[in-house]
């Protein structure tokens, strides 16, 4: 009887903890975002072709309300005849806090075979200082803007590959009433993609 009381008490504590956060999870089928009472998961994307006039390309995720949590940022790039190595050099939170990423880790590896047309990169796999968000996913928090600076290899010593065409996709957990978007630019500050 004592074990049953402990189990009931443990379940009650978990239910109170979930209720205190204002977030109620509903289990979803594969590939379907988890529905939350005050936060929702959204996937946004953009394309960009580098001009070759800068040493970096900035990828910025904007949310009209926060805090928001960036769970995933993937880059799919097209280039011929070979693909360059793309690295992550810096992260800027809300245009105020800079986080230099030690060692400029590789986001997308150089493909040595000639005439390879595409490559895939997972930016979040090399981002330091991630947290666990309300859905249990690893994420990077920000209040209104998260900026990821991509560069070639070696880091920031040459221009970003001219003509590199990228498809960028971000998965974000944000307030259900927020507007979320992603944009890429060789300029800083990055022009917002939010409606004005």
Task: Please write the tens of the pLDDT for every residue from 176-196.
Answer: 999 999 999 999 999 999 987
How is the chain split into domains, by residue range? 38-185
In angstroms, the CA 125 to CA 23 distance is 26
Please report the pLDDT score of residue 84 as a whole number: 81
Backbone angles phi, psi at 143, to 5 degrees: -90, -40
Torsion sign across C-alpha atoms 113, 119, 125, 126: positive
pLDDT of residue 194: 92
Measure CA of the first residue to CA of the last residue in the chain; give whole Å.
61
The predicted pLDDT at position 103 comes to 86
Max mean pLDDT range (8-17, 52-61, 160-169): 52-61
The average pLDDT across 3-12 equals 37
Cis check for the bond before 81: say yes or no (omega within 30 of 0).
yes
Average pLDDT over residues 126-150: 94
Global confidence as pTM:
0.78
Q: Give the per-residue pLDDT at 24.
A: 28
Q: How far apart are CA 166 and CA 121, in angstroms?
A: 10
Instruction: Establish how many alpha carbons lie within 13 A of residue 172's alpha carbon, considering only the half-sphere containing its beta carbon.
Output: 28
Q: Which residue has the higher pLDDT, 63 or 38?
A: 63
Whole-number average pLDDT of the chain: 80
pLDDT of residue 49: 92
Neighbours of 179 (CB within 10 A): 15
* Residue 113 predicted with pLDDT over 90: no
Q: Higher pLDDT residue, 142 or 22?
A: 142
* Whole-number pLDDT of residue 16: 32
Asked if the 38-185 domain carries CATH number 3.30.310, the reply is no
Of 14-23, 40-49, 149-158, the one with minimum mean pLDDT is 14-23
């Amino acid at each position: 009887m004592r074990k049953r009381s402990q189990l009931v008490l443990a379940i009650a504590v978990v239910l109170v903890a979930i209720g205190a956060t204002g977030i109620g999870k509903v289990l979803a089928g594969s590939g379907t975002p988890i529905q939350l009472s005050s936060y929702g998961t959204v996937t946004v994307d953009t394309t960009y072709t580098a001009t070759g006039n800068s040493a970096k390309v900035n990828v910025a995720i904007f949310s009209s309300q926060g805090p928001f949590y960036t769970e995933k940022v993937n880059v799919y790039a097209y280039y011929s005849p070979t693909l360059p190595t793309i690295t992550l050099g810096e992260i800027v939170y809300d245009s105020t806090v800079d986080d230099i990423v030690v060692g400029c880790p590789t986001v997308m590896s150089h493909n040595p075979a000639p005439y390879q047309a595409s490559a895939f990169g997972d930016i979040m796999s090399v981002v330091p200082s991630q947290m666990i968000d309300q859905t249990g996913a690893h994420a990077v928090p920000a209040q209104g803007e998260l900026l990821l600076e991509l560069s070639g290899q070696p880091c920031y010593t040459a221009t970003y590959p001219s003509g590199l065409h990228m498809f960028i996709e971000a998965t974000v957990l944000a307030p259900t009433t927020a507007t979320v978007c992603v944009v890429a630019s060789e300029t800083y500050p990055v022009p917002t993609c939010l409606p004005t």
